[in-house]
Amino acid sequence: MAEGAVLLQLMTWLSPAFPTGGFAYSHALEWSVEAGDVTGEAALAGWVEDVLRHGTLWADAILLRAAHGADAAGLAELAALGAALGGSAERRLETLAQGAAFRAAAAPWGAAGCAGIEALPYPVAVGALAAACGVAVEDALLAFLHAAVANLVSAGMRLIPLGQQAGLRVQAALAPVILDVAGAGAGLEALGGCCWRSEIGAMRHETQFTRLFRT
C-alpha cells in the first residue's frame, strides 16, 4: 500500500489534468509543421525521438536526475543552469512557466527545497519533489518523459492533423525510446544537444503569423 501511495502521487503530478498548462506549449512543433518538417505520423515520431535523444528532453532528463539527488544549494545551482539552457525566449518561457505552475499546484506536497528559487525549471521542480516524497528517480523520469511525449504527440495530432489511432501508434513507437533515455543514467557532464532545427523553430515561432500554442 505504501508503494501504491507513492505511485498515486506520481500519477497525479504528471497527469494531463495537473495544472501546469502543458497543453499550451508545442515545443516548436507548431513551426516545424508550418515549415513542412513534420507532415505525418512517421515524421512526428522521428521529430519527437530526436528531441528525446538529442534535444531538450534529453537535457530535462539529466536535470531531473540531478535534482533528485541535490540539496537546497544544489537545487539553486541546477535551477540557474536549467534556466540558462533555454536557448530562446520561448524555450525559457516553456520550462520556467511550467516549473512555476508545477510548484504552485504541488504545494500540498511541500516546497521540496525549492523555496526561495525564483526561476524554477520544470524538470528541477519535478525531480526535487519526487525525491522529497520518496519517489524513485527512475519512476519519476519515466513518468516525466511519458507526459512530455504525450503532450507533444497531442500537439502534433492537432497541428498536422492526425487521427487518434495514428497518435497512439506514435506514442507506442516511442515507448522504447523513453525507456532508453530514462535508463541512460546520464549525468551533468552529458548535457548538450544537437536538435538545431527544433531550436531554430523555437526562435521562429516567436514571429509566426498564425499560432495555436505559446511556443
pLDDT attached to residue 3: 84
The radius of gyration of the chain from alpha carbons, rounded to an integer in Å, stands at 16
Whole-angstrom Cα distance, residue 19 to residue 139?
A: 21
pLDDT attached to residue 140: 97
Whole-angstrom Cα distance, residue 142 to residue 147?
A: 9
pLDDT attached to residue 213: 96
Q: What is the pTM of this model?
A: 0.96
pLDDT attached to residue 185: 92
pLDDT attached to residue 1: 53
∠183-186-154 over CA atoms, to 5°? 60
pLDDT attached to residue 115: 81
The angle, 0 to 180 degrees and rounded to 10, between the axes of the packed helices 41-54 and 164-183 is 20
Q: DSSP string spanning 9-22? A: HHHHHTSTTSSS-G
pLDDT attached to residue 2: 61
Cell of 26: 508545442
**In tens digits, what is the pLDDT along the chain, a chain of 215 residues?**
568 888 999 999 999 999 999 999 999 999 999 999 999 999 999 999 999 999 999 999 999 999 999 999 999 999 999 999 998 999 999 999 999 999 999 999 886 778 889 999 999 999 999 999 999 999 999 999 999 999 999 999 999 999 999 999 999 999 999 999 999 999 999 998 899 999 999 999 999 999 999 99
Count Cβ atoms below 10 Å from residue 69 Cβ, excluding itself. Answer: 11
Contact 122, 64 (CB under 8 A): no
Q: What is the DSSP letter of 23?
A: G
Cell of 22: 502543458
Enumerate domains of the chain plus CATH numbers: 40-200 (1.10.4190.10)
